[in-house]
Amino acid sequence: MTPFIRNVIVRMKKLFYVLLLSSVVSFAQEETVLDTTKVESLDEVLLKAVRVDADSPITHSNLEKEEIAQRNLGQDLPILLNYLPGVVTTSDAGAGVGYTGIRVRGSDATRVNVTINGIPYNDAESQGTFWVDLPDFASSVQSLQLQRGVGTSTNGSGAFGASLNVQSDAISEEAYGEISNSYGSFETWKHTLKFSTGLLMDKFEISGRLSKIVSEGYIDRATSDLKSYFLQAAYQEGNTLIKALAFGGEERTYQSWFGIDEQTLETDRTFNPAGLYTDEEGNIRFYDNEVDNYNQDHYQFFWNQRFNKNWSSNVSLNYTHGRGYFEQYREDADLAFHQIEPFLIGEELIETSDLIRRRWLNNNFYAANANVNYKNEDWDVTTGAFYSYYGGDHYGEVIWSRFGGDSEIRDRYYSGNGDKNEFTAFSKATFRINSKWSVYGDLQGRFVNYRTSGLTSDKVLLNEKRTYEFFNPKAGLSYKLNTRNQFYASYGRASREPRRSDFEQGVFTAEKLNDYELGWRFTSEKIQVNSNLYYMDYQDQLVLTGALDDVGAPIRATSGESYRLGLEIDAFVKLSEKWSLRPNIALSSNKNVDFITSRDGELVNLGNTNISFSPSVVGANSIEFRPLKNLQMALLTKYVGEQYMGNIDSEVSKLEAYFINDFNINYTIENLPFGDSLVLSGLVNNIFNEEYVSNGYFFTYDDDFTNPGTITTIEGAGFYPQATINFLVGASLRF
């Protein structure tokens, strides 16, 4: 550890102890009777360390429970965020159920930091977020905040494109029950049961949710069978809020990450090559259990305490357990590779066999988080610390082989593991200089120890032990010109370690980002506008190459110097009491600087090239019409410009621009004899039946067979087509 970093840690620890001691003293000296109109709710205290206020110099968007509910008919949470600024979403199965992905400012999900109640949700090793493991979690979301760019200091891997802070359901003072059901295209069903006891004796609440979602998928055999639960017990009295949460899910999805080539896209766009094999009689068949099967359970505990009108604190504990596998039928597989000794049948040496294998992941994630906040008319200071430990086992087993020799069922043919420790300390403060000026500062030290051992799924030895130390300062300045206009400027530093698959590719260098933001916010009675310029300067950015590994995970490579320069504008325009608009647009230039690649056996400098999966134009709009108090209709539009799936500007890797439109309608019937309200919802996606592709992969390889002595670089691509016109309808009864 460098002296500089050590000094920073010492100072942070001192500040944390001073603040904690001061809170105890203040608690002892001041009355605890609070003016609740001037302080945050205890539920808000939970996210104080990772969220920002409306006038903060951080670029962000908020989404509340009511807005999420309008389209929550079974599609995954990333799909529900599709109309936020700079967001691009995709679905492997084509219709938003099952495996889905999100990109913000061109950065994929592994670079979008996600926290649920302040606890990291990104997998510690892969850094990905797999919402399929928490199906229908949107039904248990109170609110969320998407911070674009570096944002404020958060827990877990640094935000390199955005951070998403999710708050689960708040306490309900009133008891209720809720039954929601929906049905749609591709035999998509969603069933949800929710309840709350309300506050019992004005102190206790128990609430929960059970959900089941099934879908055949738009892509052939891309079925989903998803189950989830959410259970919360809460105690609230005076200035104390204690919550215990248990939530999780079970997913079984037929694999649909193989994609299709351009010719198949034109002739049979729903074709799915997963599970394809040739039987003993030469017939083409598909293995019916080529599935991904995974379970994930989360246990969280929170203690939020307000000591007086100035001081509050939060302590959080988390345990997550995940386990599961994906299953594959392998035709003519090498027996020796699968730890099955070749053997003789008569005089024939059997070295290959059809077999079925499973690749397992079994992991545990522990986290502890504590922070304390001081707030008065001028200061808002939060200081805290976070620690987590992750342990993951990776192994493969053969569960059937046509020729098994002396092997036993579930014999392991590879085994490896990874262990990751992380400690983070931070202190952030906003100081209100006067009625017009405020300044923001944020210091974070993050320290990671990561160790891998054993074999990869390719049976390559991976014994690595790496330590990473990061110091991430942030600062911002806000100026309120008048009641309508506010300007802000901010700087943020982020650093992040490579993930396990990067280690497998021989990449160990940490990547760094300096993010500069300049914004203007305008608010009037009928118009709200948020606009910002950003410049994100990367060093050793790990960009997606476009290629996939043998489990469908994107492969990354270090690009050296790169940047993202952009303008984002989003607005709300109230045209009348019945009509309103919500447009947004993101314009950007995303470049690798002096990008070097191998082409035809030689290293070539291509100059500045486009960063993969980074469209220069992303726009959206919502035209909302409320002809009646309880009737809401919206036409939702989305435009995504052309983008490259690789970093060499190859035409083979290009995804064409697309423009799609959805229609959403909600009607609420109140004061029913058998319930409080009945909400009828409808959603027609892609109403103009566009055939579009939102994602894919790109690969190159060197060919010296066609022309011996000459190396030729061959390029290829795969595509993930999205569903044409489709619908979902639902009814939700609250009683």
Range 298-314 average pLDDT: 95
Nearest residue to 728 via CA among 20, 72, 289:
72
Please, which residues have CB within 8 angstroms of residue 450's CB and are 6 or more apart in sequence? 418, 419, 420, 421, 464, 465, 466, 467, 468, 497
Q: 238-282: per-residue pLDDT in tens? A: 999 999 999 999 999 999 999 999 999 999 999 999 999 998 889
CA atoms of 397 and 415, how far apart (whole Å): 9
CA atoms of 250 and 298, how far apart (whole Å): 12
- pLDDT above 90 coverage of the chain, percent: 85
Nearest residue to 50 via CA among 327, 314, 335, 402:
314
CA atoms of 73 and 687, how far apart (whole Å): 17
The number of helix segments (H) and strand segments (E) in the chain equals 6, 43
- The predicted structure's pLDDT at residue 710: 79
* Least confident interval from 34-43, 52-61, 369-378, 388-397: 34-43
pTM above threshold 0.85: yes
CA atoms of 457 and 621, how far apart (whole Å): 44
Give 670's DSSP letter.
Answer: E
- The predicted structure's pLDDT at residue 706: 64
Relative to beta strand 579-581, strand 617-628 is: antiparallel
Report in angstroms the alpha-carbon separations of 109 from 72, 359, 364, 396: 21, 23, 21, 26
Residue 291 φ then ψ, to 5°: -120, 160
Structure tokens at 536: 């994100």
CA atoms of 330 and 353, how far apart (whole Å): 8
- pLDDT above 70 coverage of the chain, percent: 94
Domain hosting 222: range is 3-734
Q: How confident is the model at residue 711 (pLDDT cuts 50, 70, 90)?
A: confident
- The predicted structure's pLDDT at residue 422: 97
Q: Which CATH number do you get for residue 13?
A: 2.40.170.20
Is 90 in contact with 695 (CB distance < 8 Å)? yes
Tokens 């050793």, residue located: 540
Report in angstroms the alpha-carbon separations of 30 from 172, 295, 309, 315, 383: 30, 48, 9, 22, 21
- The predicted structure's pLDDT at residue 703: 79
Alpha-carbon torsion (400, 404, 410, 416), positive or negative: negative
- The predicted structure's pLDDT at residue 30: 38
Q: 505-552: per-residue pLDDT in tens? A: 999 999 999 999 999 999 999 999 999 999 999 999 999 999 998 888
CA atoms of 641 and 81, how far apart (whole Å): 18
Report in angstroms the alpha-carbon separations of 293 from 252, 287, 326, 341, 457: 5, 15, 6, 29, 18
Alpha-carbon torsion (79, 83, 85, 91), positive or negative: positive
Range 642-666 average pLDDT: 97
Structure tokens at 433: 């200089």
Please, which residues have CB within 8 angstroms of residue 469's CB and are 6 or more apart in sequence? 1, 2, 5, 445, 446, 447, 448
Q: 567-584: per-residue pLDDT in tens? A: 999 999 999 999 999 999
CA atoms of 117 and 168, how far apart (whole Å): 7
Strand partners, 291: 254
DSSP 3-state percent helix, strand, coil across the chain (nearest 5): 10, 60, 35
Specify the 3-state DSSP secondary structure of 504: helix
Range 373-388 average pLDDT: 95
Task: Quote the Cα angle for 616-557-540, to 5°.
Answer: 80
Report in angstroms the alpha-carbon separations of 527 from 268, 580, 629, 634, 635: 46, 10, 21, 18, 19
Would you put residue 560 in left (φ > 0), alpha (ψ -120 to 50) or beta? Answer: left
User: Helix/strand/coil (H, E, C) string of 431-450?
Assistant: EECCCCEEEEEEEEEEEEEE
Helical H runs in 145-290? 262-267
Q: 385-439: per-residue pLDDT in tens? A: 999 999 999 999 999 999 988 888 989 999 999 999 999 999 999 999 999 999 9
Q: 7-25: per-residue pLDDT in tens? A: 434 444 443 343 344 333 3
Nearest residue to 120 via CA among 373, 326, 420, 374:
420
**Which stretch of DSSP H or E encloses residue 487?**
strand 485-496
CA atoms of 247 and 230, how far apart (whole Å): 4
- The predicted structure's pLDDT at residue 21: 41
Structure tokens at 533: 């310029």
CA atoms of 108 and 614, how far apart (whole Å): 10
Exposed/middle/buried for 409, CB within 10 Å: 0-12, 13-18, 19+? exposed
Strand partners, 698: 717
Residue 26 scores a pLDDT above 90: no
Q: How many domains does the chain have?
A: 1
CA atoms of 690 and 662, how far apart (whole Å): 11
Beta strands in 17-152 (DSSP E): 60-64, 87-91, 100-104, 112-116, 119-120, 141-148
- The predicted structure's pLDDT at residue 9: 43
CA atoms of 286 and 276, how far apart (whole Å): 4
Range 715-728 average pLDDT: 97
Alpha carbon 660 to chain centroid, angstroms: 23
- The predicted structure's pLDDT at residue 31: 37
* Least confident interval from 215-219, 266-270, 703-707: 703-707
CA atoms of 474 and 495, how far apart (whole Å): 12
Residue 121 scores a pLDDT above 60: yes
Q: 172-194: per-residue pLDDT in tens? A: 999 999 999 999 999 999 999 99
Q: 453-465: per-residue pLDDT in tens? A: 999 999 999 999 9
**Which stretch of DSSP H or E encloses residue 680?**
strand 675-685
* AA letter at 162: A
Alpha-carbon torsion (493, 45, 78, 57), positive or negative: negative
Q: DSSP for 140-162? A: GEEEEEEEESS-S--SSSPPSSE
Q: 87-113: per-residue pLDDT in tens? A: 999 999 999 999 999 999 999 999 999
- The rounded mean pLDDT for the chain is 92
